Amino acid sequence: FGDKAAKEIMCELKKLRVKTLKRGDVVGGPKNLGDFLPKRSLFENKKFNSCAIVASAGALKDSNLGKTIDSHDLVLRFNHAPTKGFEEDVGRKTTVRLLNSQVVTRKEFNFLESDIYKNVTIVAWDPSNYKASLDEWLEKPEFNLFPAYVEYKKKNDKARFFLINPQSLWELWDFLQNNSPNRLRRNPLSSGFLGLGILLPLCNFIDMFEYVPSARATKRCHYYDPEDNPACTFGVWHPLAAEKLLTYHINTIDDQKVFQSGYVRIPGFKNFRC
Ligand code: NCC
């Protein structure tokens, strides 16, 4: 993106909306999915002042950021990242959990039973092939998350469970590619960048914790697991480095906060008159 100003990038991004599937978007579908989709999209007509995105990075360990994270009006977490036992570092509040389709479908994650997926808003995503139609994806998702979606909704029809329209994923990917100096492999974005895309229209500002790695960064993949794997922070499969470079470019707070405290701040769309 060379010297393209942050404002210009935000205005380009503002044209884009990460969409969730609504009743009527799918007629019939696998397991009659269409009948179980929500009537409204995610947080339709709702606005938040401060939002926090908690990347699951190992660098959150011993960060003592829990209180800061919990002070936000909305807190988004990923996949099976726990709070219990890690409150000092990552807080206890969860408003939204953004799940990839492996977490929804693979037995080890116990999606239909585990308490961490109850009483929160769930947003799940699964990648289609690049430029595939919605019907093609419904027929051939990467991990078949539709049975678990329908099961979850049957248990509790009031549950707030949203599915990302996979075409939005690739629109966001195209945006990243158009604003990156390097050519990206055509692999889906990480849940991290998708989380930002989801919250930009809803929040006045978004603080992303340990997404852009701080001075605490280590080889450790997750704060909740001792496994070392630097690829979790810099990426091998997802275009993580490109996501993070762009995110740092549109960040509005000083490097002290970014690299010592461990978060970037991205202003929501409403702050930009384009
Ligand atoms: O690891 P994961 O990611 O659940 O992390 C969520 C998001 O936090 C950011 N992150 C994580 C670790 C780290 N050291 N630095 C970070 O910045 C990333 O933005 C990441 O997206 C995913 O994106 O959904 C992902 O999910 C895992 C895995 O499927 C789930 O954790 C469930 O076990 C993927 N790992 C594998 O498939 C082995 C990972 O590639 C992407």
Chain position carrying tokens 């380009």: 12
Does ligand 1 lie within 6 Å of residue 247's CB atom? Answer: no
- Nearest CA to 55 out of 151, 238, 196, 170 is that of 196
H or E element: which one contains 184?
Answer: none
Going by CA atoms, what residue is nearest to atom 19 of ligand 1?
192
Residue 20, ligand 1, Cβ within 6 A: no
Is the Cβ atom of 221 under 6 angstroms away from ligand 1?
yes
Residue by residue, pLDDT tens for the chain (274 residues) are 456 799 999 999 999 999 999 999 999 999 999 999 999 999 898 999 999 999 999 999 999 999 999 999 999 999 999 999 999 999 999 999 999 999 999 999 999 999 999 999 999 999 999 999 999 999 999 999 999 999 999 998 889 999 999 999 999 999 999 999 999 999 999 999 999 999 999 999 999 999 999 999 999 999 999 999 999 999 989 999 999 999 999 999 999 999 999 999 999 999 999 9
Cα angle, residue 15 at apex, residues 10 and 18 outer, rounded to 5°: 100
CATH 3.40.1280.10 fits 6-265, yes or no: no
Q: Is the CB of 149 under 6 A from ligand 1?
A: no
57 lines ligand 1 (CB under 6 A): yes
Confirm or reject: Cβ of 103 under 6 Å from ligand 1: yes
- Is 9 within 8 Å of 249 (Cβ atoms)? yes
Nearest C-alpha neighbor of 198 from the set 108, 105, 125? 125
What is the residue with the minimal CA distance to atom 35 of ligand 1?
A: 232
Cα 232 from chain centre: 15
Q: Specify the DSSP element, H or E, that contains 138.
A: helix 134-139
What is the position in ligand 1's atom list of the atom closest to the CA of 243?
19
Domain boundaries, the chain: 6-265
Nearby residues of 75 by Cβ (< 8 Å), 6 or more positions away: 51, 52, 54, 69, 91, 93, 94, 95, 96
Torsion, Cα 196 217 120 74, to 10 degrees, reads -50
Residue from 197, 202, 232, 178 nearest 98 by CA = 197
Phi, psi of 54 (to 5 degrees): -105, 100
Residue 223 CB–ligand 1 contact under 6 Å: no
Atom of ligand 1 nearest to the CA of 98: 24
